[in-house]
Amino acid sequence: MKNYIKTDNSDNVLELQLNVLVFQEDEYFVSYCPAMQLSSYGDTIEGAKEGFDEVMDAYIENCKENNSLRDDLLKIGWTIDKSNHSKAEPPSNIDLNIPSGLLRKQFNENWNIPVS
């Protein structure tokens, strides 16, 4: 599924839908969101997913405190429509670099981020 960010009609909330991959590395499971360049890990697939949720929560909190989401997205390759700053697209070319056969699960995460 395609990663995207959109806003509600009042532009007060950004909704992110992100694709997260879980792969196995030795005895750990790593959750990785290529579009956000965020990752975490756990002893199980569910643990890796929960770890990713914690990392994403911390990221969102940091962005809210620093009012930095748009700048962060631009730094990691997202494009933001100049005529409509509420529309953003992820990088078109993402290098996954996951060794063959190690992908264990893929899921989509939805996040709502209040913006001021």
For residue range 4-56, list pLDDT tens digits in order.
Answer: 455 445 555 667 778 889 999 899 999 999 889 999 999 999 999 999 999 99
Q: Enter the pTM of the model.
A: 0.75
CA distances to 8, 22, 32, 55 from 83, rounded to whole Å, are 17, 36, 31, 31
For residue 87, pLDDT beyond 70: no
Task: Quote the pLDDT of residue 54.
Answer: 94
For residue range 61-71, list pLDDT tens digits in order.
Answer: 888 888 888 88
How many alpha carbons lie under 13 Å from residue 88 in its C-beta half-sphere? Answer: 27
Short-list 11, 34, 2, CA closest to 81: 11
Task: Quote the pLDDT of residue 100.
Answer: 66
